[in-house]
Chains A and B, each alone.
Chain A
Amino acid sequence: MKVIIVGVGEVGYHLAKNLSNEAKDVIIIDHDEEKISLVEETLDVQAFLGNGSSPAVLKEAGIEDADILVAVTDSDEVNMIACLIASSQTIIPKRIARIRNVEYIKNSKILSKDYLDLDLAINPEEEVVKNIIRLIEYPGAVDFVEFAHGQVLLIGLKLDEISYGVGKAVKDLSELRNYLKNNNKVLIVAISRDNRIIIPKGDTIIKKGDILYVMMEAGIAKDIISFFTKREERVKRVIVAGDSNISSFLANELDSMPIQSKLLCPNPDRCAKCSEVLDKVLVIQGDITDSAIMRDENIQDVDLFIAVSENESNNILSSLLAKRMGAKKVIALVNRIYYIPLVTTLGVDIAVSPHLAAISSILHFIRRGKVLSVAALKEGEAEVIETVALETSDIVNKPIKDIKFPKDAIIGAVVRGDDVIIPDGNDLIFPDDRVVIFAKKSAISNVEKKLMVKLEYF
């Protein structure tokens, strides 16, 4: 599969890295010479210097036989033009563009079939807002992914000293088994420790500070979270800090939720605009790193402090400050993907990244067809893949323990009709089951091969 990526920013670079690791043919176009040479030196991709919205450059890059065009430059307009030119020159099966400006997405037909005919318009900011809302709905979880139309959940739980399971081996979690009723099952598919992903075996010991990735049926998620964390957590008070589109979106969403929320924003114009729209959310004008304001707004009683300004250093500082002043949990928005592990070791509970969100949804889309859904975890160190078991593939009609599955991958859930099965070694997978697979980066291409065996080539 040949993928052309226009724009080697943070998103383009990581997208190229992920795709080329999966043995796809990746071609990159950017007008920045330095970025091009960096890409050529560090990734196994072909790079072209030039403007991604220029027909000649696209032609040189081989647009004629490309399968997917992904336009992820900093400019919405360049992205749209690149897609438009690509489809005017040749029939390119899939076009994806990053569109930041909501105006283009919401109130216009420009993305529709008659005009740009985009297959996917990604708004990273919207994705981030969705993520944060989920984290508010399921406090206690640091990561959260839905599969099979929301029937299956994968939840990341951060364990501290009082959490259940710390110090025990995975096979010894008998209280967990007793706790589950009605044949419900859960599966610990991975443990993230010191920013490395471990696929646990029966005798893997769970440690304090681990993030446990647990696969389960959606209905029992809240119970499982409180069982592990041993707390009845509910988010009652939230402060959103920052002057950005994300803070506005987030405040909008929170306005309709039964939560006491405040928006802290340094920009008077945005404050004025937001207070016009918002009914319940209290808008406060002030600097997001101002400790006096935080004290005045009772930061010590806040359950969740969310720093989402455009400046990532400010986000980190302000969330650390909030944490120090007594906020129970803090979220910081970080753009550079390499910063994420760093930020969480500093004491920020959760780092969200619009780039990671964009990468995740683009990967998700690229694999669609064979794969229903993909989610990237831990800066892309691991992925969760949802797919339909094909009659011809190697995994059907035999007990799971007999499938020769790659070492760093695990089958987390099987969905048959309305039933969710969290499988053990004796369960069987039938054709047309939906299967949710957790895989480390190194195993992804092998997993794909396993799923595709004897499959149609296209």
Chain B
Amino acid sequence: MQLRLLLGFLGILLIFLSLFMLFPLFFAFYYKEDITPLSTSFLITLVVGLLLFLFFRSPKRELRIRDGFALVTLGWITSAFFGALPFYLGHFFPSFVDSYFEAMSGFTTTGASVLTEIEHLPKGILFWRSLTHWLGGMGIIVFSLALLPLLGVGGMQLFKAESPGPVADKIKPRIAETAKTLWKIYILISGVEAFLLMLGGMNLFEALCHTFGTMATGGFSTKNTSIGSYNSAFIDWVIIIFMVVAGANFSLHYRFLTGKFKSYFNNTEFKFYIAVIVVSIVIFTIILRLHIYDNIFSALRYGAFQVCSIMTTTGYTTANFEKWPYFTQFFLVILMFIGGSAGSTGGGIKCIRIYILLKHGYRELLKLVHPKAVISLKMGKKAIPYDILQSIWGFFFLFMFIFVLASLAMTLLGLDIITSFVSVAATINNIGPGLGTVGPAENYAHIPVIGKWILIFCMLVGRLELYTVIVMFIPEFWKK
């Protein structure tokens, strides 16, 4: 482990993080709120960052694969720690665990909150809470890669470790350029959404906060009843569209924006992603029309919103879906696991993996019928390399293993089975609201302290796609 290199890099990360704390400070000034929690956090983060940077600045060195894993995992743990400072210093949360939970939930774009009365919090703090989503969405490490050519080589390791999906897509020859391009697209689409939300009647503060929540597929709102409190069809549809955009692969957006308009339709994962969404919406609309809403438009609007919100792992709500039929509730839990696309800001297992697993399962059946058949697994027109297939199976198993283990641990703490299962599902998939006592109308405040740590771990593991974090727990990782 090249500890110096790691600490130096963390220093840079903290300096960036501290600079981002200036944005909520602006809103705190504007709304004439107490700025001490934010300004103190800003100073602490900046000073710690500068000290680390100055003491551990080392010449450009090659980063080995393990260093990449350690750096990304530590980067996220540290960011959430310093990101929790404004919450903790302002005494808005009863304990540091709660603050850390909220910050981790922000950075990992989960959107699970321990707050009951969100609207009582100062605007500056709420803005910071949403901003953590936005930073975590495209990746805090990818962000620093974009701004600084920090490492001679090894940037790819970091990029791979942080970006979701089985294969990282390098859209430009250089990693710094790739990172920059992704962030530019992210900023551009965010700008469009914020503008549309303002057209829908939100003020700048609310529009930005909800844009951050949507584009990062996060789910923090500034309202107690989430998007439902606006009760505006326009806002609902804008957010639905941008959730779907955020849950799709950003390199496809890049290709689209550079004039390759067909790129969406040539991409198998995107087609699968859209197909799952459309089919789910149709099913939801029919069922909700029959059981809950008396007209088809409301059924479509609320059904589509919830399907997109859960499938893209955002976690905004416009209706209390716990009052919906059990079928739809369980359907939503399944959508949680499918998740967004690779290379998006969404969480979950990811469409591409589900698609490949389904295809592989079907191939096994075909082989029973035609034992001598040679059937290659294809994505579009390209065969899937065998080692990627293996890594997907490994991923799937580990994901389920951790899910079951964590749920079991939650029941040990005395939680009921639905809450245990769904709270873990909603955090490991980075959704936010679940069912049972963590449903859309409730929050995570009542979960015991140990349970909160377990869920914090689940959020991190889910966002960094298991391997990056879990690999640090095997003894071989630390052996020289």
Contact = CB atoms under 8 A, between A and B. Distances in A.
Given A40-B156, A42-B153, A43-B153, A25 B172 contact: yes
B354 to A, nearest CB: 24
Contacts of A20: 153, 174
Interface residues of B, number: 16
A33 B385 contact: yes
A2 interface: yes
A6 to B, nearest CB: 15
B184 interface: no
Interface string B308-327: 00000000000000000000
Contacts of A256: none
Interface string B123-164: 000000000000000000000000001001101110000000
B152 A25 contact: no
Interface string A37-55: 0001111111000000000
B175 A44 contact: yes
Contacts of A33: 385
A46 B173 contact: yes
Which secondary structure characterizes the binding site on chain B?
loop
B417 interface: no
A41 B173 contact: no
A44 B155 contact: yes
B359 interface: no
A396 B28 CA distance: 53
A26 interface: yes
Contacts of B60: 442
B282 interface: no
A21 interface: yes
A160 B371 CA distance: 72
Nearest to A39: B156
Given A33-B385, A41-B65, A2 B156 contact: no
A46 B156 CA distance: 10
Using C-beta atoms within 8 Å of the partner chain, give the interface range for chain A: 10 to 19
A27 B65 CA distance: 22
Interface string A2-44: 1000000000000000001101011100000100000011111
A386 B470 CA distance: 51
Interface string B57-69: 0001000010000
Nearest to A442: B60
B170 interface: yes
B279 to A, nearest CB: 32
Contacts of A25: 172-174, 177
Interface string B164-176: 0000001011111
Contacts of B155: 44
B385 A27 contact: no
Given A44-B153, A44-B155, A2 B173 contact: yes
B177 to A, nearest CB: 8
Contacts of A26: 173
Nearest to A41: B156
Nearest to B151: A44
Interface in B171-202: 172-177
Contacts of B177: 25
Contacts of B172: 25, 46
A45 B385 CA distance: 21
A26 B60 CA distance: 20
B76 to A, nearest CB: 22
A45 B173 CA distance: 5
Contacts of A41: 65, 156-157
Interface in A403-455: 442
Contact of B156 (A21, A27, A44, A442): A44
Contacts of B174: 20, 23, 25, 44-46
B267 to A, nearest CB: 14
A27 B172 CA distance: 9
A303 B138 CA distance: 64
B284 to A, nearest CB: 39
Contacts of A42: 153
B153 A27 contact: no
A367 to B, nearest CB: 18
A28 to B, nearest CB: 9
Contacts of A442: 60
A151 B295 CA distance: 90
Nearest to A62: B173
B43 to A, nearest CB: 35
Interface in B71-103: none
B172 to A, nearest CB: 7
A42 B64 CA distance: 9
Contacts of A44: 153, 155-156, 174-176
Contacts of A23: 149, 174
A43 B154 CA distance: 7
A139 to B, nearest CB: 38
B255 to A, nearest CB: 12
Contacts of B152: 21
Given A33-B385, A41-B65, A46 B153 contact: no
Contacts of B153: 20, 42-44
A26 B155 CA distance: 15
B157 A27 contact: no
Nearest to A20: B174
Contacts of B65: 41
A21 B152 CA distance: 7
Nearest to A4: B173
Contact of A46 (B149, B157, B170, B176): B170
A197 to B, nearest CB: 15
A41 B174 CA distance: 13
A25 B173 CA distance: 5
A41 B176 CA distance: 15
B343 to A, nearest CB: 15
Most A CB contacts (10 A, CB to CB) among B65, B155, B175 go to B175
Contacts of B156: 40-41, 44
A33 to B, nearest CB: 7
A25 B174 CA distance: 6
Nearest to A17: B153
B205 to A, nearest CB: 40
Nearest to A46: B173
A13 to B, nearest CB: 13
A23 B152 CA distance: 10
B38 to A, nearest CB: 37
Contacts of A46: 170, 172-174
Nearest to A28: B173
Nearest to A3: B173
Interface in B283-301: none
Most B CB contacts (10 A, CB to CB) among A27, A44, A46 go to A44
B312 to A, nearest CB: 28
A41 B155 CA distance: 9
Contacts of B170: 40, 46
A27 to B, nearest CB: 5
A228 to B, nearest CB: 32
A92 to B, nearest CB: 16
Interface of A: 2, 20-21, 23, 25-27, 33, 40-46, 442
7 contacts: A2-B173, A25-B173, A27-B173, A40-B170, A44-B155, A44-B176, A46-B172
Given A41-B156, A442-B60, 20 more contacts: A2-B173, A20-B153, A21-B152, A23-B149, A25-B172, A25-B174, A25-B177, A27-B173, A33-B385, A40-B156, A40-B170, A43-B153, A44-B153, A44-B155, A44-B156, A44-B174, A44-B175, A44-B176, A45-B173, A46-B172
Interface of B: 60, 65, 149, 152-153, 155-157, 170, 172-177, 385
- Pairs A-B, 4 closest by C-beta atoms: A25-B173, A46-B173, A44-B175, A46-B170
